[in-house]
Every structure is written in structure tokens, then in C-alpha cells.
Amino acid sequence: MLQRTSISNLQAALQDRSQTAVGIVEDSLDRIDRIDSSIHAFREIYAERALSKAHEIDRLIATGNPIPALAGVPVAIKDNIVTDFGTTTCGSRMLEHFQSPYRATVVDRLEHAGAIIIGKTNCDEFAMGSSTEHCAFGPTHNPWARNRVPGGSSGGSAAAIAAGLCPISLGSDTGGSIRQPAAMCGVVGVKPSYGRVSRNGLVAFGSSFDQIGPFANTVEDAAIVLGVLAGEDPHDSTCASRHVPDYLEKLDQPVADLRIGVPREFLSDHNDVSVKTAVQNAIATYASLGAEIVDIELPLTAYGIATYYVIAPAEASSNLARFDGVRYGLRAELSGDDDLFELYAKSRSQGFGPEVQRRVMLGTYVLSAGYYDAFYARALKTRRLIKQEFDRAFEQCHAIIGPTSPFPAFEIGATQDPISMYQCDIYTTNTSIAGICGMSIPCGFSDIDGQRLPIGLQVQCQAFDEATMLRVAKMFESATTYHAETVSHDGTS
């Protein structure tokens, strides 16, 4: 029942008593038990707790009172969002047995809306990666092709939706970690504007970039969940005190009165041919819907990767300094001659994987004396220029579209060079740098070696204009069928 099932269909089934919350959760748990061993989307399952919550929802429905927006909907949570049940490992040996004493704001809001959290999903260690290969507990496999990555770092959350293990999941996006796996798994993924959703309870990677957002089967479902998550939080000083609109109110409004910008830099010959073709077809679809297509320029696109990989690792080196083997996390065993420095060095070497160590060292380097002005200060100046570039672009158009990733999902183990992995995010990092909102929606398929692999279209809008972004995405979804295609159990469409 759960594969490509919408929230509205689940709610209707609960209301007319053709389905129970317990039945829905049991279906989800059964699919996980049958399918996830070959995907590894989940790291931890909360079956007993989920069924208990489902019984509570069924009792509420039996009273005849109105049910909340996400009543009975199974939800998966990325393993860097803390809960006061289970463990939160961030995909790292450093936190392998960590149990949080509190829960994230988004977890509270989901459960207040009736959602049922069924488990934690696999992710790149501390959200650092673009493939969900960099996890201490093993990689996640793409449901469309088990020998390929699901994208990252929120690959487990995206794969869980694509495989029909649950209808909703949460991820975090620092430089593309929701949008890129959504593209590679053929699902909807939303990165809200910076400050739209509380970061309280999200284990920090890059504090000026990180945002929590939903994965879903449809744009409407993503809009419903975003409406639940968004809004001011007194526990997060970076969460904006701005009104949260009803994201469903104008969702089905035609795009004929909108100008949609297409940056010429996004149609690069470096894109895979299938990606370029799918995006050009998407542009033609929007034109057929009456939208005005506007050619725009974002010349700083090429500088986004370099800018991001200076600022984000610098913030990571500061955020991860707390994992020292003293207060919590992995503590290395010492010999009699080891001092405090050896405790720090051994604990961090044993607790952090290669990619995390690489980014911590890079971040520490660019912040060190003699290099701060040459790298970090210059990157901050470039960040401001990128933000200004988007501001000018949005004077010409209401939304910007282009590819989410320059290529479809690549094979597991194919990117031994970290620079080539970083290039996956060339179209997503600047969105995060500018603090605007972006999302990925399915827009086509590629055929590589007989494998049918999804392609994603990225839609971007000005900060806090998620309503327009969702509307633009929904109109494309309504005119196409890519979002409705499903994965078979053996990893073929």
C-alpha cells in the first residue's frame, strides 16, 4: 500500500475506516523487513514504539474527532537528527552508542501532527558526502540499481521513499544533501530557506548552511510536511520569526503568469547527455504550460564548489571539536605513556572516518594563522557576491530551474577521488550559500548499461518563497508522470 501512496490517500483510508494506523505501520515494517536488507536505507527501527503510537492514533480516530495533518503516516528520520529514543550516531563510530537526552524540534512537530516515526536512516558520516558510502555502518544502495549510490548525504532517507518503505522521511541539506539524493532516487526533496525550519536537535555540520527538509512521493506531500515543520522556534536563534503561509493554498495555481529563469551555466556540456535532454524537455513543458522562459546568467556558478568547500569545512572543524573523547563519544584506550594530546588524537582518529578527517583538516587549515585571509575571508566575500547574483536574477524571474545533479547515480566505489564526488553538488551548493530555497523533482530517466536511472530537476526561489517554488514544481508534476513510476523489489523499474 505504501509505494507511491500519498498522505491524502492514507488520511482518507483512515477516515473511512478502510485502513487503520496499525495496519499502515505494519505494512511499512513488513516492507522494511522484506526489502531493506538489499538497500540498507535504515540503520535503526522502532517497531514497538511505532505500533504503540499507531494504536493511539486509532483510538483518536474512533472518537470521531478531527485527526491531525499527518495522523498515522510513517516517517523516517535521518540519523543526524536527535531523538530521546533509540540512538543518534550520525553514521559515525564516534557516536555509535550515543543516546540523546532530548529530541529535535522537528521530531516534536511531526509527532504533534500525528506522524509515526519508524526509524533512523543511514547517512554519510556527519552528513559529509554525496553518495552515502561514507558511513561507518556500510553504504546505502539505490533502489533503482543496487550497484549504484542513492546520492548523499541523506541517501537513506531518499532510498526509503523510492523503495516504498515509508511515504515521508526527513533529511538535512548543507550543500545539496536533500536535493541530490532526491534526484538520484527519483523522489521529491525540499531544502527550505535558511531559517525556515528549526535546526534545534540537528547535529551541526555547517551551521550557516544546515537545513532540515522533507522527502516525499509528491510535491503536495512535501508541502504538507513543510507546513508542519516550518516556523519560529525559541530554541533556535537562527530560525526566522516569519509567518508560515498555507503551502497548499496556491499549490494548484497555473504558472502562466510566472517568469521562469534558465541559467545558461546550468546547461553546460559537462552535464550527462541524458540530464541535458531531460532538463530541456522540462523547459519545453513549462513553456507549454504558459510560463515565460527567461534566459539568465549566474556566472559565479563555477565558484560555488570552491567557496562551499572552504566555508563549510571551516564550520565543521569548529563544530566537531567537541568530539574529543572526554565528554561523550568514542574514547580511545591509552597506554601508560599517553598524555591528553594522545587521547584527543587517538579518539578522533579512531572515531572519525577518512572523509570527516579530510574536511576537519581542511577547515582547520583555512582558519589557521597566515591562511585565514587568503582562503576563509575571501570565501566569505564570494558568498556575498553569490547572494547578490541571485538577488539580481530574481529581479528578472520568479523561479530558476535547471539540473539538480550533472549526472545520474554513479556506481558504488566509482569516485575514489573526493574532488569528483564534490562536483555532484555544482548546481546545489550556491543555493545553500545564498540561503534561498530549492527542491528537486523527478523529470526523466537515463538508460545506462541497461539500468533505468532517475534524473532530477531543481527548482529555486527567493528566500522564504517556498510557496512559489512548490507551485512551480507541482505544475510540472501535474503535467508529467515521472513521479508516479515505481521501483520493483529487484531494483528494476
pLDDT tier, 491 (very low <50, low <70, confident <90, very high otherwise): low
How far is 14 from 10, CA to CA, in rounded Å? 6
Q: Which three cell numbers stand for residue 166?
A: 515509508
Cα–Cα–Cα angle for 437, 442, 444, nearest 5°?
A: 135
From residue 29, alpha-carbon distances to 35, 44, 93, 111, 163 in Å are 10, 12, 26, 18, 13
pLDDT tier, 490 (very low <50, low <70, confident <90, very high otherwise): low
pLDDT of residue 145: 97
For 279-318, write each residue's pLDDT tens digit. Answer: 999 999 999 999 999 999 999 999 999 999 999 999 999 9
Place of cell 569545512: 313
For 446-464, write each residue's pLDDT tens digit. Answer: 999 999 999 999 999 999 9
Does the pLDDT at position 225 exceed 50?
Answer: yes
How far is 263 from 392, CA to CA, in rounded Å? 12
SS3 state of residue 438: strand
For 166-218, write each residue's pLDDT tens digit. Answer: 999 999 999 999 999 999 999 999 999 999 999 999 999 999 999 999 999 99
Contact 444, 274 (CB under 8 A): yes
> Which residues lie across from 261 on neighbouring strands?
294, 400
Does the pLDDT at position 1 exceed 70?
Answer: no
Phi, psi of 99 (to 5 degrees): -120, 120
Does the pLDDT at position 2 exceed 70?
Answer: no
Query: Average pLDDT, stretch 226-231?
Result: 98
| DSSP, residue by residue, 144-186 | TBTTB---SSSHHHHHHHHTTS-SEEEEEESSSTTHHHHHHHT
pLDDT of residue 311: 98
Beta strands in 381-475 (DSSP E): 399-403, 437-448, 451-461
Contact 182, 172 (CB under 8 A): no
132, with CB counted inside 10 A (0-12, 13-18, 19+), is buried
SS3 state of residue 283: helix
Closest C-alpha to 225, from 181, 171, 176: 171
Contact 459, 472 (CB under 8 A): yes
Q: Which three cell numbers stand for residue 376?
A: 576563509
Task: Give every CB contact of residue 456 below 8 A, 6+ residues apart in sequence.
Answer: 179, 180, 182, 183, 184, 186, 403, 404, 405, 440, 441, 442, 443
For 378-412, write each residue's pLDDT tens digit. Answer: 999 999 999 999 999 999 999 999 999 999 999 99
Does the pLDDT at position 468 exceed 60?
Answer: yes
Query: Average pLDDT, stretch 114-130?
Result: 97
Instruction: From the candidates 28, 53, 78, 440, give the one annotated as an active-site residue.
Output: 78
pLDDT of residue 493: 46
For 7-47, write each residue's pLDDT tens digit. Answer: 999 999 999 999 999 999 999 999 999 999 999 999 999 99
Give CA torsion, residues 162, 163, 166, 172, to 10 deg.
-50
How far is 183 from 272, CA to CA, in rounded Å? 14
pLDDT of residue 414: 86
Instruction: From the candidates 28, 100, 131, 153, give the one annotated as an active-site residue.
Output: 153
SS3 state of residue 302: helix
How far is 183 from 486, CA to CA, in rounded Å? 14
Query: Average pLDDT, stretch 225-236?
Result: 98
Closest C-alpha to 213, from 226, 199, 195, 227: 226
Instruction: From the candidates 100, 131, 154, 177, give the one annotated as an active-site residue.
Output: 177
How far is 99 from 90, CA to CA, in rounded Å? 12
Does the pLDDT at position 348 exceed 50?
Answer: yes
pLDDT of residue 423: 86
CA atoms within 13 A of residue 410's CA, in its CB half-sphere: 18
Contact 271, 403 (CB under 8 A): yes
**78 noted as active-site residue:** yes
Proportion of the chain above pLDDT 90, given as a percent? 89
From residue 443, alpha-carbon distances to 164, 182, 411, 454 in Å are 19, 11, 21, 8
pLDDT of residue 136: 96
How far is 476 from 442, CA to CA, in rounded Å? 9
pLDDT of residue 489: 61
| DSSP, residue by residue, 33-47 | HHHGGGT--EEEE-H
Q: Going from the N-terminus, what domains does the chain have, and what CATH number goes with each? A: 7-253 (3.90.1300.10)
Place of cell 561514507: 134
pLDDT tier, 339 (very low <50, low <70, confident <90, very high otherwise): confident
State the chain's mean pLDDT as an integer.
Answer: 95
Does the pLDDT at position 141 exceed 80?
Answer: yes
How far is 318 from 303, CA to CA, in rounded Å? 23
**153 noted as active-site residue:** yes
pLDDT of residue 418: 78
